[in-house]
Structure formats: structure tokens, C-alpha cells
Amino acid sequence: MNFRKPRSPEDALKRRRLGKRLRQDRKKDWQSLRYGGSPSDLWSVRRTPLRAIESDFRAKFSSIVQNLQMCAGTRQIRVLDLGCLDGEAISQLAADFPNIKAHGLSLKRLDSWKKYRTVAFRVAHAEKTRFPANHFDLIYSYFGLTHSDFESSVKEAHRILLSGGELLVNQEVGNLYGLRGSDFDLLNQQKKRLEELGFEVLKGAFLGMGVGNQLICKFFHLRKK
């Protein structure tokens, strides 16, 4: 037996109007962020499916490695995956670029590491990797700093990067519809902090991902000064 009270035509009309207003508000928020709502042109916002984010990240990585190889000549490029999990991603990159020395770092040793002989894995915290200073040409983290302190991890990355070395970071930050201009203010403060830590901020962006592009991630491309 259904005890649900039937909706009156007035209630149905109110619900439709409320839904329409919410959709309009979301559209306005999105447009204000996309077309000048940001107080700085550093941060862009765009809707990007998760597969496209992975593809863009891989393309950016490939481009950087190629540039580094041109500068390094015959020297082997050293690359670190911060938060490598099962190691599959860094092993694929090592297969695509045989002349890089691939390293993976994670909080826990996994059995899957045994099948990736081309990658040197290490169990450690991103805030304290125990690698020597000025060691890596490129460090990247694809959602690998979720359980780490971001600033401490970036400081450690700066320590172990060579001068001119680059850092790529994707970090999940929240919900697209909760994003406001104040978030850009905070992120611009973070940009200044990254510069104080010794990085040049080459790129910063919000990328919509997930179901309905509601979840967003923050993307950084940094270079050690």
C-alpha cells in the first residue's frame, strides 16, 4: 500500500521552478569561473572527462621527457612517480621511454612490483623520500599525494629535483559546484607560496572529472628555479 501523499499541481510547479533556478545558478557560477571570475589568469577551469585527464597528463609527461632528453644528451633521465600504488603507470612509461631510469615510491610494498623489473621501487613517505638531493629530472604524482601533506611533499620534491627539473601534480580538491572565487584567492596564495619554495609555476588549472564532471582536481606544472 502506498501512503505517499500525491503532489498537487502547485507543488509540482514549485519543484520545477526550484530545479530550473538551481540549474541557472550552477550555469552562472560555471560561466563566472570560466570567463573572468578568477582574480588571476593563472587558473583556468574546464570540464574534462577522467580519460581525457589521463591522456593529457600522459601527453604532458611525454613532451617533458622528450625535452629533457634533448638537454641531457646521452645521460639517462631519472623520473620518480610519487604515490605509484601498484606500479603499473610508471612501468608503462618506462616501457615507452627505455632510456629513462624509472623510480616508484609508495607507502606500502605491493606484490605487483615484482613483475616490473624496469622500475626501482621504494617504500617511503612523500614528505621524506630518503633520496639524495638534486637527483631527479622529473617527478610526477597522479593523485598520489592524497594522504600526504601537500606543502611538505612539494618541499621534498624541490630538494631531490635537479635545477630546472620539473614537477607534475594532479590533486583532487572537491566539488565543481562548490567552487567559488574565494577558492581562486586561496590558490593564488598557494601559487605565491610555491614560488617562495623555489618553483616557477608554469601552469595551474581546475579540471572537472567524474560523474557529471562534478568532482574536480587541481593540476600543477612546476619547474625548480
DSSP secondary structure of 169-206 = EEEEEEEGGG--HHHHHHHHHHHHHHHHTTEEEEEEEE
47 and 83 co-located in one domain: yes
DSSP reduced 3-state for 84: coil
DSSP reduced 3-state for 12: helix
Strand partners, 224: 199
101 and 14 co-located in one domain: no
State the virtual CA torsion across 179, 185, 188, 190 in degrees, nearest 10: -80
- The verdict on residue 159 lying in a domain is yes
- The verdict on residue 171 lying in a domain is yes
118 and 77 co-located in one domain: yes
100 and 122 co-located in one domain: yes
Q: Which helix (H) or strand (E) holds 121?
A: strand 119-123
- The verdict on residue 2 lying in a domain is no
31 and 81 co-located in one domain: no
- Its pTM stands at 0.72
161 and 207 co-located in one domain: yes
22 and 44 co-located in one domain: no
For the chain, 225 residues long, give each residue's pLDDT as a single digit of tens: 444 455 577 776 766 776 666 555 544 444 433 333 333 444 444 555 556 666 667 777 778 888 887 777 778 889 999 988 888 888 888 888 888 899 999 988 888 898 898 999 999 999 999 999 999 999 998 888 877 888 899 999 999 999 999 998 887 765 544 455 555 566 677 788 889 999 998 887 766 554 454 556 677 889 999
31 and 46 co-located in one domain: no
- Domain with 22, as residue range(s), is 7-37
15 and 102 co-located in one domain: no
- The verdict on residue 32 lying in a domain is yes
Q: d(Cα 126, Cα 105) in Å, to the nearest integer?
A: 8
- The verdict on residue 100 lying in a domain is yes
27 and 106 co-located in one domain: no
- The verdict on residue 214 lying in a domain is yes
The residue whose grid cell reads 572565487 is 181
117 and 207 co-located in one domain: yes
SS3 of the chain: helix, strand, coil, percent, to 5: 45, 30, 25
- The verdict on residue 1 lying in a domain is no
109 and 81 co-located in one domain: yes
Any idea what the CATH number is for the domain that residue 149 is in? 3.40.50.150
Count of domains forming the chain: 2
State the virtual CA torsion across 91, 96, 99, 103 in degrees, nearest 10: -20
Neighbouring C-beta atoms of residue 94, cutoff 10 Å: 23
Residue 102 in grid coordinates:
624509472
